[in-house]
Each structure stands twice: as structure tokens, then as C-alpha cells.
């Protein structure tokens, strides 16, 4: 059964990164984030605040090489931590979706804690054409947003669909995605008062 506190912590150390994550699902949106990447820290703060998870992340990586390893490995460990915090997933709503405006940008996230990891990442044609050369903020390549999401979805056991319909500012593209992801996670991980002990699957398992 799920822990009443729905808390987990995971540490992972490789030759490229050292990541520690603590997560409380039923929190107040409080966060302490240190990855060495200011823009990424900002996005993870948004994720905590708008999902109402309490989230502590300490990450060090080979930033002298580039930021890819740190971002991807943070996604891996955050996904593993969320997976553990959910336990057997009994009682959760399971599905969540949110359509989020961020100034001139509109993004949508839909997700399912299915146990079948998948990322579908779709950009409007004009955004896709510009994304490979775009910096979301403080030199953070926008393409790393997709890499983070893929690692997170894979290790959380999450079917995750992300779309950006339109927008002009790469910072807003990223912010819209992280905020929409947060709100969708909040919806999907809530306990359904009508069936608080039941795994929401006809198979009887989501893990």
C-alpha cells in the first residue's frame, strides 16, 4: 500500500554526475534546488510550486563538458523518486492534463501513470524549426527540455504527451511546459476519494 506521507529519496552517482532527490508528494510546493544550472533550477522550482510537491535536489555534474549529463541524470533520479513515492499507485487518479498559457505561448501536457514509459514531444512547425538553435535562458539549450522529459517519463513509468502550439520566446516555451507538467502531475497523483485503496486499472497493477 502507499505510504501515508508518500515520500521517497534516491541518490545516484556516476562518473559524470552525482544526484540526490527527496520528494514529498503531499506537500506545499516548497523546494530547495541546486544543479549548477540557474535556468534549470528555476524550471524545477516551478515544477515543485505548481504541483505542490516538496522537492529537494542536489546535483553536481561535468558542466565543464556541457549541461546534458546533469539535466538528463536529474530527470532519471527525479523519475525514480516519484516512482518510489507513488508506491503501488493505489488510490491515485492516474490521469492528468493541463492546457497552460504563458504570455504568448500555449502548451499542453497530458499524462498517464500507466507503467508504460513513453514521451511524445510535439512542437508547432515554426517552433520546431527554431528550437535546435534556441536558448531558453542563461545559455540553457531548449533541446534539453525534451531530454529531461524523456528521462523523467522513462523512470517514473509515465506515458507523457507534451505539445507547444505556438509562442515566440524560448523561455516561455520551457516555462509553459514545466508549469503544465506540474499541474498535470498534481491532478494525476491525487488520491481519488471514491476509491482510495484501489489501483486504477482493470489489470489490478500499474507497476
Q: Write down the pLDDT at residue 1.
A: 44
Residue 94 lies in a domain: yes
C-alpha cell at 148: 529531461
Task: Kindly report, residue by residue over 118-148, the tens digit of the pLDDT.
Answer: 999 999 999 999 887 777 767 799 999 999 9
Residue 45 lies in a domain: yes
CATH code of residue 17? 3.30.230.40
Cβ 56 vs Cβ 48: under 8 Å: no
Instruction: For residue 148, give the 3-state DSSP assignment.
Output: helix
Q: What is the largest CA-CA distance in the chain?
A: 51
Residue 87 lies in a domain: yes
CA distance 180 to 145: 13
Residue 164 lies in a domain: yes
Residue 95 lies in a domain: yes
Owning domain of residue 74: 7-189
Q: Write down the pLDDT at residue 176.
A: 98
Q: Which position has the grid cell 529531461?
A: 148
**How many structural domains compose the chain?**
1
Amino acid at each position: 500500500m502507499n505510504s501515508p506521507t508518500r515520500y521517497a529519496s534516491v541518490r545516484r552517482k556516476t562518473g559524470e554526475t552525482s544526484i540526490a532527490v527527496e520528494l514529498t508528494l503531499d506537500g506545499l510546493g516548497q523546494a530547495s534546488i541546486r544543479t549548477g544550472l540557474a535556468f534549470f533550477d528555476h524550471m524545477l522550482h516551478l515544477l515543485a510550486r505548481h504541483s505542490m510537491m516538496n522537492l529537494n535536489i542536489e546535483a553536481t555534474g561535468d558542466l565543464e563538458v556541457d549541461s546534458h549529463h546533469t539535466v538528463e541524470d536529474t530527470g532519471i533520479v527525479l523519475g525514480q523518486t516519484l516512482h518510489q513515492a507513488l508506491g503501488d499507485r493505489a488510490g491515485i487518479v492516474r490521469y492528468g492534463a493541463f492546457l497552460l498559457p504563458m504570455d504568448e505561448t500555449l502548451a499542453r501536457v497530458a499524462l498517464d501513470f500507466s507503467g508504460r514509459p513513453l514521451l511524445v514531444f510535439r512542437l508547432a512547425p515554426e517552433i520546431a524549426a527554431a528550437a535546435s538553435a534556441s536558448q531558453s535562458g542563461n545559455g540553457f539549450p531548449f533541446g534539453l527540455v525534451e531530454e529531461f522529459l524523456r528521462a523523467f517519463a522513462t523512470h517514473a513509468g509515465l506515458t507523457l504527451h507534451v505539445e507547444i502550439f505556438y509562442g515566440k520566446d524560448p523561455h516561455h516555451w520551457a516555462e509553459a511546459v514545466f508549469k503544465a507538467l506540474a499541474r498535470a502531475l498534481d491532478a494525476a497523483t491525487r488520491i481519488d476519494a471514491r476509491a482510495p485503496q484501489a489501483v486504477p486499472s482493470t489489470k489490478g497493477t500499474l507497476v
